Amino acid sequence: MKVKDIGEIALVERLARRIRLDPSVLLGIGDDAAVIQWTKEAHMLFACDMLLEGVHFTLAHATPFQIGWKALAVNISDIAAMGGVPKYAVVSIGIDPGRQVSFVDGIYRGLRSLARKFSVSIVGGDTNRSRKLVIDVALIGTVEKERLTRRSGARAGDVILVTGALGGSIKGRHLTFLPRLREARALVQDFRVSSMIDVSDGLVLDLWRILRASSCGGRIYETCVPVSRDADSFGAAITDGEDFELLFTMEPREARRFFREALAGFGTDVHLIGQVLGEKEGLTLVTGDGSMKALKPEGYAHF
């Protein structure tokens, strides 16, 4: 059996299998970031994300600045999705020795620029030669214990919400997006968010991850899902990868309070797109004409 036959989810699960974890590890592989005991008040978060030339960007369509920016942005997005604050990053780069130094400087400027914006300290690095450009960032964050937001906290009856608009990120947004850190922090500081994830592999797949981790089913409404002007179709909008929007769940009362009290000052659109149901309900789409369509966990597949 080949890697492409089992897919990314099963592949990561194979790594997680039979791994021995220290008791201080509260959450290992399987969420946007690992959660580790730290102080009395706060946990430590730990995540990594690798970008590869030809997969996550091409040199024809991305500037070095954008590549550096994106390499850190995807990681900050992971920490944000746990309700946390990013703190310390290390950066490993593989690069063609024949590249101009100005090219590398551009990548570094992109990294530094976003790091400054969100007060992230880049504390370490490793450089190697590689024909194809590859950048891997590992990021440590922190989160107050009561604000930690996992994928697994959704409950039947909760409503499903999403920031921004979905789809077509590949047309450029995926290289320039600002991670929803401010929004995530505003949410977890002032509201009870039952579960959260960042939409990296498409709405359907990432919603499926929340529902599976929470042992729930769910329903989304075609008329409620915010579709980006860049999206080619509704179907593309809910399966395109790299939106990096926040997908989260709340009790309906809490969501009403959010729309009443906070949305005006929030600065980013938030849409209520569906409901969490019992596990047996599976995941369904209510189309514009009211018919029901079962959704499979499909989205951006790395293999």
Residues 119-138 close enough to bind a second copy by CB under 8 A:
119, 121-132, 134, 136, 138
Name which position in 63, 112, 185, 251 contacts a second copy (CB under 8 A). Answer: 112
Q: How far is the CB of 148 from a second copy (least distance, A)?
A: 15
Least CB distance from residue 200 to a second copy, whole Å? 10
101 binds a second copy (CB under 8 A): yes
Instruction: Find the shortest distance in angstroms from Cβ 261 to a second copy.
Output: 32
CA 45 to chain centre: 14
For a second copy, the closer of residues 259 and 303 by Cβ is 303
Q: What is the rounded CA–CA span in Å between residue 168 and residue 160? A: 21
Tell the smallest beta-carbon distance from residue 279 to a second copy (Å): 26
Distance between CA 98 and CA 241 in Å, rounded?
32
Is residue 41 involved in binding a second copy (CB under 8 A)? Answer: no
Half-sphere exposure of 284 (CA within 13 A, CB side): 13
What does DSSP assign to residue 95? E
Nearer to a second copy, 96 or 279 (CB): 96
Minimum CB distance to a second copy, residue 39 (Å): 8
Site string for a second copy, 11-40 (x = CB under 8 A): xx-xxx-xxxxx-xx-xxx---xx-x--x-
- Tell me the one-letter amino acid at 193: V
Among 3, 61, 189, 293, binds a second copy (CB under 8 A): 3
Dihedral, CA of residue 112, residue 117, residue 119 and residue 120, to nearest 10: -40
> Is residue 8 a contact point for a second copy (CB under 8 A)?
yes
Nearer to a second copy, 101 or 264 (CB): 101
Residue 58 within binding range of a second copy, rule CB under 8 A:
no
CA-only gyration radius of the chain, Å: 19
- DSSP-derived secondary structure letter, 229: T
Q: How far is CA 95 from CA 6, 98, 99, 175, 231, in A?
A: 30, 9, 8, 19, 32
C-alpha of 189 from chain center:
19
Nearer to a second copy, 8 or 251 (CB): 8
Of 59, 63, 90, 173, the one binding a second copy by CB under 8 A: 90
Least distance from C-beta 35 to a second copy, angstroms? 8
Three-state SS sequence of 39-63: CCCEEEEEEEEEEEECCCECCCCCC
Phi, psi (rounded to 5 degrees) for 194: -80, -30
Contact between 46 and a second copy by CB under 8 A: the answer reads yes
Q: At what angle do helices 101-117 and 64-81 cross, to 10 degrees?
A: 30
Q: How far is the CB of 30 from a second copy (least distance, A)?
A: 9
Binding residue for a second copy, selected from 67, 72, 80, 95, defined by CB under 8 A: 95
Query: Is the CB of 105 or the CB of 269 nearer to a second copy?
Result: 105
- Enter the tokens of residue 95: 């690069």
- Residues 179-238 touching a second copy, rule: CB under 8 A, are none
The reply to whether 56 sits near a second copy by the rule CB under 8 A is: yes
Pairing of strands 85-95, 134-144: antiparallel
106 is an interface residue for a second copy by CB under 8 A? no
CB 87 within 8 A of CB 121: yes
